[in-house]
Amino acid sequence: MELTIETFRQQIDAAMQSYDRHVVCVFKTPDDCLEAIERLMLKAIKAYENRADGMRHGIALDKEITIMLSQTENGPPLCGIYFNLHTPYSREHGGHNITETRTRAGANPSD
Protein backbone atom coordinates (compact mmCIF):
# COMPACT_ATOMS: atom_id res chain seq x y z
CA MET A 1 0.00 0.00 0.00
CA GLU A 2 1.42 3.34 -1.04
CA LEU A 3 1.17 5.98 1.67
CA THR A 4 0.49 9.59 0.67
CA ILE A 5 -0.81 12.72 2.35
CA GLU A 6 -4.28 11.83 1.03
CA THR A 7 -4.16 8.52 2.92
CA PHE A 8 -4.36 10.59 6.10
CA ARG A 9 -6.61 13.43 4.86
CA GLN A 10 -9.34 12.62 7.43
CA GLN A 11 -6.86 12.96 10.31
CA ILE A 12 -5.40 16.16 8.84
CA ASP A 13 -8.88 17.68 8.47
CA ALA A 14 -9.75 16.76 12.07
CA ALA A 15 -6.49 18.30 13.31
CA MET A 16 -7.18 21.50 11.38
CA GLN A 17 -10.68 21.75 12.88
CA SER A 18 -9.16 21.44 16.36
CA TYR A 19 -6.49 23.99 15.48
CA ASP A 20 -9.05 26.50 14.21
CA ARG A 21 -11.33 25.99 17.19
CA HIS A 22 -9.04 25.40 20.18
CA VAL A 23 -5.39 26.22 19.60
CA VAL A 24 -4.05 29.72 20.10
CA CYS A 25 -0.74 30.09 18.32
CA VAL A 26 1.00 33.28 17.30
CA PHE A 27 3.58 31.42 15.23
CA LYS A 28 1.35 29.76 12.62
CA THR A 29 -1.74 30.98 10.82
CA PRO A 30 -4.23 28.22 9.87
CA ASP A 31 -2.78 28.18 6.34
CA ASP A 32 0.76 27.92 7.73
CA CYS A 33 -0.40 25.13 10.05
CA LEU A 34 -1.91 23.12 7.19
CA GLU A 35 1.27 23.58 5.18
CA ALA A 36 3.39 22.45 8.15
CA ILE A 37 1.17 19.40 8.77
CA GLU A 38 1.42 18.33 5.13
CA ARG A 39 5.21 18.85 5.13
CA LEU A 40 5.57 16.89 8.37
CA MET A 41 3.25 14.16 7.08
CA LEU A 42 5.60 13.58 4.15
CA LYS A 43 8.53 13.34 6.58
CA ALA A 44 6.61 10.95 8.86
CA ILE A 45 5.69 8.75 5.88
CA LYS A 46 9.33 8.67 4.78
CA ALA A 47 10.46 7.83 8.34
CA TYR A 48 7.78 5.12 8.58
CA GLU A 49 8.68 3.54 5.25
CA ASN A 50 12.43 3.62 6.01
CA ARG A 51 12.26 2.49 9.66
CA ALA A 52 14.64 -0.20 10.86
CA ASP A 53 13.52 -3.78 11.44
CA GLY A 54 11.59 -4.11 14.67
CA MET A 55 10.62 -0.43 14.77
CA ARG A 56 6.89 0.35 14.64
CA HIS A 57 6.70 4.13 14.22
CA GLY A 58 7.51 6.97 11.87
CA ILE A 59 7.74 10.35 13.59
CA ALA A 60 8.16 13.92 12.34
CA LEU A 61 7.94 17.11 14.38
CA ASP A 62 8.63 20.80 14.63
CA LYS A 63 8.27 23.11 17.63
CA GLU A 64 4.47 23.19 17.45
CA ILE A 65 3.37 19.92 15.78
CA THR A 66 4.22 16.21 16.14
CA ILE A 67 3.01 13.54 13.72
CA MET A 68 3.35 9.85 14.55
CA LEU A 69 2.50 6.95 12.25
CA SER A 70 2.18 3.63 14.10
CA GLN A 71 2.26 0.21 12.50
CA THR A 72 -0.90 -1.92 12.73
CA GLU A 73 -1.30 -5.65 12.18
CA ASN A 74 -3.03 -5.02 8.85
CA GLY A 75 -4.05 -1.99 6.86
CA PRO A 76 -2.61 1.49 6.88
CA PRO A 77 -0.74 2.78 9.93
CA LEU A 78 -2.53 4.70 12.65
CA CYS A 79 -1.92 8.43 12.50
CA GLY A 80 -1.64 10.77 15.47
CA ILE A 81 -1.29 14.54 15.03
CA TYR A 82 -0.38 16.38 18.22
CA PHE A 83 -0.07 20.08 18.95
CA ASN A 84 2.88 20.75 21.25
CA LEU A 85 1.29 23.35 23.48
CA HIS A 86 3.38 25.61 25.64
CA THR A 87 2.91 28.66 27.76
CA PRO A 88 4.70 32.00 28.03
CA TYR A 89 4.75 31.40 31.80
CA SER A 90 7.31 28.60 31.61
CA ARG A 91 10.95 29.18 32.45
CA GLU A 92 11.93 27.78 29.06
CA HIS A 93 10.35 30.82 27.38
CA GLY A 94 12.05 33.37 29.56
CA GLY A 95 9.70 33.12 32.50
CA HIS A 96 8.75 36.78 32.21
CA ASN A 97 5.59 36.20 34.21
CA ILE A 98 7.14 34.01 36.91
CA THR A 99 8.11 35.47 40.23
CA GLU A 100 10.08 33.51 42.76
CA THR A 101 8.91 33.46 46.31
CA ARG A 102 11.51 33.95 48.99
CA THR A 103 9.66 32.22 51.81
CA ARG A 104 8.91 28.56 52.09
CA ALA A 105 6.25 26.89 54.13
CA GLY A 106 7.81 24.65 56.72
CA ALA A 107 6.54 21.32 57.89
CA ASN A 108 5.87 22.74 61.32
CA PRO A 109 5.38 26.51 60.95
CA SER A 110 5.84 28.53 64.09
CA ASP A 111 2.93 30.59 65.41
- Three state DSSP letters for 46-80: HHHHCCCCCCCEEEEECCCEEEEEECCCCCCCEEE
Contacts of 84 (CB under 8 A, 6+ apart): 61, 63, 64, 65, 66
Query: In DSSP terms, which residues pair with 58 in a beta bridge?
Result: 69
Average pLDDT over residues 4-28: 84
Residue 1 binned pLDDT confidence (cut-offs 50, 70, 90): confident
Tell me the C-alpha distance between 62 and 64, whole Å.
6
Residue-wise pLDDT tens digits, 42-87: 999 999 999 999 899 999 999 889 999 999 998 889 999 998 876 6
Average pLDDT over residues 7-11: 93
Tell me the C-alpha distance between 38 and 41, whole Å.
5
* Per-residue pLDDT at 111 exceeds 90: no
Domain ranges of the chain: 5-92
Tell me the C-alpha distance between 48 and 106, whole Å.
52
Percent of the chain's residues with pLDDT above 90: 47
Q: Taking the model in full, what pTM does it have? A: 0.70
Percent of the chain's residues with pLDDT above 70: 73
Query: In DSSP terms, which residues pair with 60 in a beta bridge?
Result: 67
